[in-house]
Amino acid sequence: MTEKLELLEKHRSFDGTQLKYRHYSKILGCDMTFSLFLPNREKFEAPPLIWWLSGLTCTDDNFTHKAGAQKRAAELGLAMLMPDTSPRGNSVADDTDWDLGQGASFYVNATQSPWARNYQMYDYVVTELTKIAREEFGLTGPESIMGHSMGGHGALVIGLRNPGRFRSISTFAPIVNPTEVPWGVKAFNAYLGVDQESWSKWDATKLLAEHDGTQTPMLIDQGTGDSFYNSQLQPEKLADIATSKNSPLTLRMQDGYDHSYYFIASFIDEHLDFHQKYL
């Protein structure tokens, strides 16, 4: 058990610093890791913060190693915080399937056994890790949030459920309507139970439909070559609701791109530029 922050890695990167920490999460009841990129604090004393939420099977390392975001973040003076995607450890509930359990939290607060004991990822991000970012690193300024796939779902849900906190939201190939697609239905049945009424607050399309009309700017990039596009993602559902609600959402279809980090790396600078406009 790691009560205090334990520095695992520190790398100089594009005039900034890439860090990785371990700590014990009281909310999740296990040790957790997170990664943090800080721009040069002599140049950018109080940098805005962008959260990145990763997708199924990923850890905080996927984004830091593959997205290539550090160069542009350093230029713009942006801090980036990357949590892991779920609680982990021998005592944490898991499943033999890759799309449930460790690495597949869906960023919800689970209510069903055995998941409820540890799978409180929404509270972990919104409260516990937020407190660490503010108190340990002085990241008390404006925030935005972004993510990929399951993490895109998480970014949309956290952003929509906390109006006024995030200046902007962006996603790559997000699961926008998890209550209606196989990945989400499987996870929500396990984590939240069979009462589908309780699922609505974890579904971006339902949250946006219930809003009077959020004015938080949103950007979605979706590859047309993504094998999950039709069966699991369907971003047009959210875009249509945004249009009806007069909410500022831009959906960009990127020809031929798939679901991988090659896709993310191709457009990550544009997403950081998008957030910078509002930060």
Tokens 């790396």: give the residue: 265
Whether residue 226 lies in the annotated active site? yes
What lies within 8 Å, CB to CB, of 82 at 6+ separation is: 34, 35, 36, 37, 51, 52, 53, 54, 60, 63, 64
Query: In the structure encoding, which two tokens stand for residue 39, read together?
Result: 């721009």
Distances (CA, A) of 243 to 29, 163, 248, 274: 41, 18, 8, 19
Alpha-helical (H) ranges within 114-229 are: 121-123, 130-137, 150-161, 182-192, 204-210
Distances (CA, A) of 46 to 49, 79, 176: 9, 9, 33
| Active-site position among 60, 84, 221, 226 | 226
| Active-site position among 23, 148, 153, 259 | 259
CA distance 2 to 72: 33
> Comparing C-alpha atoms, which of 146, 166, 125, 126 is closest to residue 219?
146
For the chain, give me the number of helices (H) and strands (E)?
A: 9, 9
Contact in structure between 69 and 115 (CB atoms under 8 Å): no
Whether residue 144 lies in the annotated active site? no
Q: Is 45 exposed, middle or buried (0-12, 13-18, 19+ CB in 10 A)?
A: exposed
What lies within 8 Å, CB to CB, of 14 at 6+ separation is: 70, 71, 73, 74, 75
| Active-site position among 25, 86, 144, 149 | 149
Contact in structure between 70 and 18 (CB atoms under 8 Å): yes
Whether residue 149 lies in the annotated active site? yes
**Catalytic positions, written as ranges:** 149, 226, 259
